[in-house]
Amino acid sequence: MFSKSDIVDILQARGDPQKQLFQSARDIRREYFGDKALLRGVVEITSMCKVDCDYCPMASTNRKLARYKMSPDLLLAIAQDMKNEGLDRILIQGGEIRQTTELVASVLPQIKEMGFYVLLNLGNKGRAEYEELKDKGADGYLIKLAFAILTIVKQCK
């Protein structure tokens, strides 16, 4: 586990330590993915969120943000437009609310039938929700955990 001091050091790296960190990241990326660009269509399905993260404009206390939740039909239409433009990877993301699981699960099979690799970022969910989304066709799920990122960075030093 990282100490607060370790995290501060990594985030404040400048000069040669920062260059070394960035070079390690490039080397690892090149090893696994090569030197190619990967395009992914991104769809924000909602601006509603129950949590209040300091860094996020969707924070529940942000009273200035217009809130919306996309319909399943609109999500399918956007996915079809992306497919028509030649994209084969889609990231569906939105604020952390229960309804995102229901919305995405209702259309995931159709989106998979279009030939997409589907990555989700819908906030923290319970195990049953992750399993439901996987069963419906999700290929991956982004979870924003700082310690996971820092573990990778630490191993590269």
pLDDT at 156 over 50: no
Domain that holds residue 20: 1-35
Phi and psi based region of residue 126 (left: phi greater than 0; alpha: psi -120 to 50; beta: remaining) = beta
Q: Are residues 134 and 119 in the same domain?
A: yes
Percent of the chain with pLDDT over 70: 91
Residue 155 lies in a domain: no
pTM of the model: 0.73
Q: Which pLDDT score, from 0 to 100, does residue 7 have?
A: 81
Residue 154 lies in a domain: no
Residue 79 lies in a domain: yes
Q: Are residues 27 and 47 in the same domain?
A: no
According to the 3-state scheme, what is the secondary structure of 44-111?
Answer: EEECCCCCCCCCCCCCCCCCCCCCCECCHHHHHHHHHHHHHCCCCEEEEEECCCCHHHHHHHHHHHHH
How does pLDDT run across 82-135, given as a tens digit for each residue?
999 999 999 999 999 999 999 999 999 999 999 999 999 998 898 999 999 999
CATH code for position 107: 3.20.20.70
Average pLDDT over residues 4-10: 83
Q: Are residues 53 and 95 in the same domain?
A: yes
